[in-house]
A and B are shown apart, each in its own frame.
Chain A
Amino acid sequence: MAEVLFFVAGTGAIAGAIGVVVLRNAFYAVLALVGHLLSLAALFLLLRAEFVAAAQVVVYAGAVMVLYVFVVAYVGGQDEEMATQGSGLRLAAPLFAGVLLVELCIATLGSGLQAIDGDGAPFDPAFGGPGQIGELFLTKFLLPFEIASYLLLIAAVGAVILARRRRGLDDGDRDDDGPLDIPRPRGTGTMAEAVDALGGRPGKPKGGW
């Protein structure tokens, strides 16, 4: 049973990875990555890492991929053409990947580790559960845990500062108004509508979306 599940999840993971690289449309690449992450979570479950598998599904396939989908929808997932210039790199990249694969396989499978051929060490039933993970995080790995929380905070603040609208820096986006100038739908009696009705005014009417 474990073998069947492993081969299904393993082929799913590799197929998802190939889909991410091959698909031209960025939106489909994100969906392929979601499939890849779900099959990777199945592999984690087979390796008795229940908590990491749950975090993978909830945090990665749930939250981070939603962020990706939003950015693809915002930027517009335009189909990119493959590299026109620098086709030498285009030839060299699969070659490099193949060499890397051979090297990694030699390094892992030929390492002479006896335990690689086995099913792994015996474990107690609580292995990989939330209890064990929480205990490790709060005793042995307390400092990395706190540093990770600071890193998340810094990344969130940095992303907001990077992606924020800046006056005078952007070329487009001229109609960024003050924070109180909320756009309102037509027919709700905005002052801009009254000015428009009186004979128009130069510039873009503000009331509509």
Chain B
Amino acid sequence: MAIGWYLAVSAFVFCIGAAGVLTRRSPLVVLLCLELMLNAGNLALIAFSRMHGNGDGQIFALIVMVVAACEVTVGLGLIVAMYRRRLPIDVDRMRDLRG
């Protein structure tokens, strides 16, 4: 398969994830959609790594996976803390910092 097809799939997944981040209101699902966008980036990185026959893109993809895991841990910790304090689990109603 030509590398361009992988890039097209990656672009599709990234845009679906971006639409999800903008529309969904539960922070859990927003985190899931962020995962989608990061994975689309991973797919593009690995496609380019294959295109150049060079392993550097795969290293970059592994580092992105590490960063995504960190983001998930901290984000889920925040959601659990919100639930403990009986705050609404809804990004539209968490607007205290918005001024």
Determine if A101 and B12 form an interchain contact, defined as CB atoms under 8 angstroms apart.
Answer: yes
C-alpha spacing A17/B11, complex, angstroms: 12
Determine if A68 and B28 form an interchain contact, defined as CB atoms under 8 angstroms apart.
Answer: yes
The total of chain B residues at the interface (CB under 8 A) is 72
**Contacts A82-B23, A155-B73 given; does A40 touch B39 at CB 8 Å:** yes
Q: Mark out the residues of chain B between 56 and 86 whose CB falls within 8 Å of any chain A CB in the assembled complex.
A: 56, 58-59, 61-63, 65-74, 76-81, 83-86
Contact partner, B66, options A123, A136, A151, Cβ 8 Å: A151
**For residue B47, which residues in chain A have a CB less than 8 angstroms away from its CB?**
47
> Is chain B's interface secondary structure helix, strand, loop, or mixed overall?
helix
**For residue A144, which residues in chain B have a CB less than 8 angstroms away from its CB?**
59, 63
For A3, A30, A101, A171, which residue has the most chain B Cβ atoms within 10 angstroms?
A: A101
Can you name the residue of chain B whose Cβ is closest to the Cβ of A63?
Answer: B69
Contact partner, B1, options A90, A119, A162, Cβ 8 Å: A119
**For residue B19, which residues in chain A have a CB less than 8 angstroms away from its CB?**
21, 93-94, 96-97
**For residue B70, which residues in chain A have a CB less than 8 angstroms away from its CB?**
151-152, 154-155
Can you name the residue of chain A whose Cβ is closest to the Cβ of B9?
Answer: A10
**Contacts A89-B22, A116-B3 given; does A148 touch B53 at CB 8 Å:** no
Determine if B73 and A97 form an interchain contact, defined as CB atoms under 8 angstroms apart.
Answer: no
C-alpha spacing A34/B92, complex, angstroms: 27
Contact partner, B86, options A2, A105, A148, A172, Cβ 8 Å: A172
**For residue A6, which residues in chain B have a CB less than 8 angstroms away from its CB?**
1, 5-6
**For residue A152, which residues in chain B have a CB less than 8 angstroms away from its CB?**
66, 69-70
**For residue A198, which residues in chain B have a CB less than 8 angstroms away from its CB?**
none
Q: Mark out the residues of chain B between 1 and 22 whose CB falls within 8 Å of any chain A CB in the assembled complex.
A: 1-9, 11-20, 22
- Contact residues of A with B, CB < 8 Å? 2-3, 6, 10, 13-14, 17-18, 20-21, 26, 29-30, 33, 36-37, 40, 43-44, 46-49, 51-52, 55-56, 59-60, 63-64, 67-68, 71-72, 74-75, 77-78, 80, 82-83, 85-86, 89-90, 92-94, 96-98, 100-101, 104-105, 108-109, 115-123, 127-128, 132-133, 136-137, 140-141, 144, 148, 151-152, 154-156, 158-163, 165, 169-173
- Contact residues of B with A, CB < 8 Å? 1-9, 11-20, 22-26, 28-29, 31-33, 35-36, 39, 42-43, 46-47, 49-56, 58-59, 61-63, 65-74, 76-81, 83-86, 89-90, 92
Sample of 28 A–B contacts (CB below 8 Å): A3-B1, A13-B13, A14-B9, A17-B13, A20-B32, A21-B20, A26-B26, A26-B29, A43-B6, A60-B68, A64-B68, A68-B76, A93-B23, A94-B19, A97-B22, A104-B14, A116-B2, A119-B2, A133-B55, A137-B62, A140-B59, A148-B66, A151-B67, A152-B69, A154-B70, A161-B77, A171-B86, A173-B84
